[in-house]
Amino acid sequence: MSTVLVTGAGGYIGTALVPALLEAGYAVRALDRFFFGRDLLPEHPRLEVVQEDTRRLTPAHFAGIEAVIDLAALSNDPSGELFQEQTWQINWQARAGAARLAKQSGARRYILPSSCSIYGFQDPDTLADETSPTNPLTTYAKANEKAEQDVLPLADEAFTVVVLRQATVYGYAPRMRFDLAINGMTYGAYATGKLPLMRDGSQWRPMVHVHDAAAAQIFMLQAPSDAVNGQLFNVGSAANVYQIGPLGELVARIVPREVEVEWYGDPDHRSYRVAFEKIEALGWKAERVAEDGVAEICERLADGSLEKGQTSITLDWYRELMRWHRIIKEVEMYGGILEI
């Protein structure tokens, strides 16, 4: 049985991926700062939980590890702009460092879950594939590209490196994110009857369900090295490439109430249509479409198993943690507040 180190295991994708890995028979070392809570992963005899910052990894974190799935990151554009220095450190340097340590420690495989946002803006008449020029527009996208450039050259016969450029993810996971397009539209429409749409609606965006994203990562753990080593793969499907305006209409049709569109933001300059033939040629295919994600989120909101908690808007939660950190540092004495 091989052990997989998952960094960022307490995040949105991680809390879907870890149970899927356990189900597939792997042992998992789940490493995270756990900014979004420590109780979102299942108790399991094959699960080891490690609280650590990826900027402080040591060879001991990789002892006995066969493969690494390196999810830990500040995970969106607004967080990347507010915390630029930390985004370079965590999303680029710490991931390059993790890949080097993995290789030195004898791990056999390293998977970098990067992002299709690296394509930034592309001519709407063309489909970006893995050979297309990149056009990263934000600190988040640029840091992903730097990480890709540093980890790919580590590939050799003994060490398989795979980069997955994931489409924007949607659907339910225990660490829920309502700051992702489909999830946010669904919540707004369901809870208030107002569906938030980012101007001007013509922008193209590929999407992928969180269980399909996790499945693609597991697929890459198992794919023959000579078919994937040192390569990039877009993760998504043609059926999940949407223009934001029509996507909003699709969401509105599924949410079980009257819905009106509420436009927000300046016109979004990120627009990219992406091709997924390369990963499909290997035999992996996304199984879900947006309708599935919208329906499952509505069902969970209706039965009370999902609420919009404070942690579900990533940037707001990081800001809140920083605010409380300042307050606590000011009032803490002798290691406590009232109890000392």
Ligand X SMILES: NC(=O)c1ccc[n+]([C@@H]2O[C@H](COP(=O)([O-])OP(=O)(O)OC[C@H]3O[C@@H](n4cnc5c(N)ncnc54)[C@H](O)[C@@H]3O)[C@@H](O)[C@H]2O)c1
In this structure, are strands 204-209 and 241-243 parallel, antiparallel, or unpaired?
antiparallel
For ligand X, give the closer residue by CB, 51 or 257.
51
Q: Tell whether residue 240 is a contact of ligand X (CB under 6 A).
A: no
- 100: CB partners within 8 A, 6+ apart: 154
Q: Tell whether residue 171 is a contact of ligand X (CB under 6 A).
A: no
For ligand X, give the closer residue by CB, 90 or 301.
90
Among 169, 195, 214, 286, indicate the residue that binds ligand X (CB under 6 A).
169
* In the complex, least distance from residue 165 CB atom to ligand X, rounded to whole angstroms: 8
Q: Calculate the CA 224 to chain-centre distance.
A: 24
Listed ranges 3-11, 190-198, 244-252, 283-291: which one lies at the site for ligand X (CB under 6 A):
3-11
Among 3, 4, 5, 12, indicate the residue that binds ligand X (CB under 6 A).
12
Q: Tell whether residue 314 is a contact of ligand X (CB under 6 A).
A: yes
Q: Tell whether residue 32 is a contact of ligand X (CB under 6 A).
A: yes
Q: Which residues pair with 68 in a beta bridge?
A: 5, 110
For ligand X, give the closer residue by CB, 175 or 333.
175
For ligand X, give the closer residue by CB, 34 or 159.
34
Residue nearest to ligand X (CB): 11
Q: Tell whether residue 280 is a contact of ligand X (CB under 6 A).
A: no
Beta carbons within 10 angstroms of residue 68's beta carbon: 29
> Which helix (H) or strand (E) is 30 found in, with range?
strand 27-32
Q: Tell whether residue 148 is a contact of ligand X (CB under 6 A).
A: no
Cα distance between the two ends of the chain? 46
What is the sign of the dihedral through the CA atoms of 229, 231, 232 and 233? Answer: negative
In this structure, are strands 231-235 and 160-166 parallel, antiparallel, or unpaired?
parallel
Listed ranges 118-126, 169-177, 185-193, 222-230: which one lies at the site for ligand X (CB under 6 A):
169-177
Secondary structure (DSSP) of 36-76: T-SSSSPP-TTEEEEE--GGG--GGGGTT-SEEEE--S--S
Residue 280 tokens, joined: 């499909």
Beta carbons within 10 angstroms of residue 20's beta carbon: 16
175-194 positions binding ligand X, by CB under 6 A: 175, 177, 180
> 254 by DSSP, 3-state: which?
helix
Site string for ligand X, 68-107 (x = CB under 6 A): ---xxx-x--------------x-----------------
> 301 by DSSP, 3-state: which?
helix
Applying CB under 6 A, the residues found at the interface with ligand X are 8, 10-14, 32-36, 53-55, 71-73, 75, 90, 113, 115, 166, 168-169, 175, 177, 180, 314
